Amino acid sequence: MGASEELDYLKSLVNQLNDKIKTLEAKATGSAPAKSPATQLRTILMGPPGAGKGTQAPKIKEEFCVCHLATGDMLREQVEKKTPLGVAAKKIMDAGGLVSDDIMVNMIKEQLENNKECKNGFVLDGFPRTVPQAQKLDGMLAERKEKLDSVVQLLIDDQLLISRITGRLVHPASGRSYHKIFNPPKKPGVDDITGEKLIQRSDDNAETLARRLKTYHTQTGPVAEYYKAKGLWHGVDASQSPAVVWDNLRSIFTAARMLVQRLDSSMDG
């Protein structure tokens, strides 16, 4: 552990001890304590297309009672609802431009302020993709007197990822997915439940994927380095089974919580 990481770790211990003291004081005076920040979660889930973000993010949401902010979905929702941010974004997209970092950060801010599911924290998926976006996100959180707990990157070899995704089959109506090799349907080419035909998504081909992966590595390499310098980055091997990946993620997110529980038992004992 480097000096800056050790310092961050010690600071987090001090914060958690302070939270514990406040809780015990509240117990002694009979007042109900506010929810401790140590029991909250503010994380970013990074990973290339097909690495398993869509599988893991809903589990994080359910386990930790936080909101899942998938920026692509948020953008579509704002455009559909014709919110001021959605109208501004649609104008830019219709002109063939990229939605500005400020609009994206403001969409996240709007969710944190108005989405009740975000009161215990969030898992952010699909943002930031560049260092300037990461800096703007930090600035917005700082204004809210909040900061990230962790940044987790799902790591997987490109060739393995391509073989995974090019074998993917989808039932369009339900979103159920299969894989020709790893998770085949009972009857080739049809959905197990409805018997309807399965399709392969048009962008699930090797050529398109190779292009998307190249863009991903170019963009996110510097973002990973940015968070490594802050001591927030964790890498998880995404070539493992989804259950093992989930166990790894949980151990990262629950480390601080387990520490608080140990403090609880030692102080109550």
**Is position 211 annotated as part of the catalytic site?**
no
**Per the structure block, which two tokens stand in for 49?**
């297309």
Check the annotation: does 83 bind a ligand. no
DSSP-derived 3-state class of residue 257: helix
**Is position 262 annotated as part of the catalytic site?**
no
Check the annotation: does 9 bind a ligand. no
Check the annotation: does 111 bind a ligand. no
DSSP string, 45-78: EE--TTSSHHHHHHHHHHHHT-EEEEHHHHHHHH
| Active-site option among 212, 230, 250, 257 | 212
Check the annotation: does 86 bind a ligand. no
Q: Counting Cβ atoms within 10 Å, is residue 241 exposed (0-12), middle (13-18) or buried (19+)?
A: exposed
**Is position 129 annotated as part of the catalytic site?**
yes
Q: What whole-number distance in Å separates Cα of residue 182 and Cα of residue 165?
A: 11
| Active-site option among 201, 211, 214, 262 | 201
Check the annotation: does 159 bind a ligand. no
| Strands 168-170 vs 177-179: parallel, antiparallel or unpaired | antiparallel
**Is position 187 annotated as part of the catalytic site?**
no
Q: Which residues have CB under 8 Å from 43's CB, separation 6+? A: 60, 121, 122, 123, 124, 148, 149, 150, 151, 152, 253
| Active-site option among 20, 42, 53, 136 | 53
Check the annotation: does 38 bind a ligand. no
Check the annotation: does 212 bind a ligand. yes
| Active-site option among 20, 61, 136, 168 | 168
Check the annotation: does 136 bind a ligand. no
Check the annotation: does 216 bind a ligand. no
| Active-site option among 59, 90, 109, 129 | 129
Q: What whole-number distance in Å separates Cα of residue 215 and Cα of residue 241?
A: 26
Check the annotation: does 250 bind a ligand. no
- Enumerate the active-site residues: 53, 129, 168, 201, 212
Annotated binding site for AMP: 71, 76, 97-99, 126-129, 133, 201, 212
Annotated binding site for ATP: 50-55, 168, 177-178, 240
Annotated binding site: 50-55, 71, 76, 97-99, 126-129, 133, 168, 177-178, 201, 212, 240
